[in-house]
């Protein structure tokens, strides 16, 4: 018999202590039918709570080759869920969500604990 320990309360308590309010808006992607040019349209911004921290721009080696690290990283609790290309604004700096990794309590993915985001600064 397997015993699963759900640590959502423990994880949420850490996120609650470190989080800050950030502005978040979803993006809708449209592709021009002839040129294939991609256009992102931002929706109305809302405020969410996120653990946010900047990083130095880094490159690291993976099996496939060189991979670029993000300009910033964010962690949200299980209640918030951002998608790729969504915009996060912190202290008048705009970042775009590139990758997201959801962490669960077990291999069955029954309880989502938090989501980690790799963010790139929009110039």
Output the pLDDT for position 1: 45
Residue 48 · residue 80 · CB < 8 Å: yes
Instruction: Identify the bridge partners of residue 88 per DSSP, sorted by sequence position.
Output: 24, 95
Which one-letter DSSP state was computed for residue 18?
H
What global pTM score does this model have?
0.70
User: Number of C-alpha atoms within 13 angstroms, CB side, residue 70?
Assistant: 19
What is the rounded (10 degree) CA torsion for 12, 103, 98, 40?
-70
The mean pLDDT value for 21-29 works out to 82
Output the pLDDT for position 53: 84
The mean pLDDT value for 88-108 works out to 84
Domain ranges of the chain: 66-123
pLDDT in tens, 52-96: 888 766 655 666 655 566 788 888 886 677 888 888 889 888 898
């Amino acid at each position: 018999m397997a015993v699963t320990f759900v640590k959502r309360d423990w994880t949420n308590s850490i996120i609650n202590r470190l989080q800050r309010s950030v502005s978040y808006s979803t993006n809708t992607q449209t592709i021009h039918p002839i040129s294939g040019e991609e256009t992102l349209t931002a929706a109305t911004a809302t405020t969410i709570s996120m653990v946010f921290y900047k990083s130095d721009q880094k490159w690291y080696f993976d099996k496939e080759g060189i991979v670029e690290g993000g300009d910033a990283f964010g962690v949200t609790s299980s209640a918030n869920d951002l998608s790729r290309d969504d915009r996060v604004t912190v202290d008048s700096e705009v970042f775009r969500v590139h990758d997201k990794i959801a962490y669960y309590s077990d291999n069955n993915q029954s309880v989502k604990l938090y989501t980690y985001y790799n963010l790139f600064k929009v110039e």
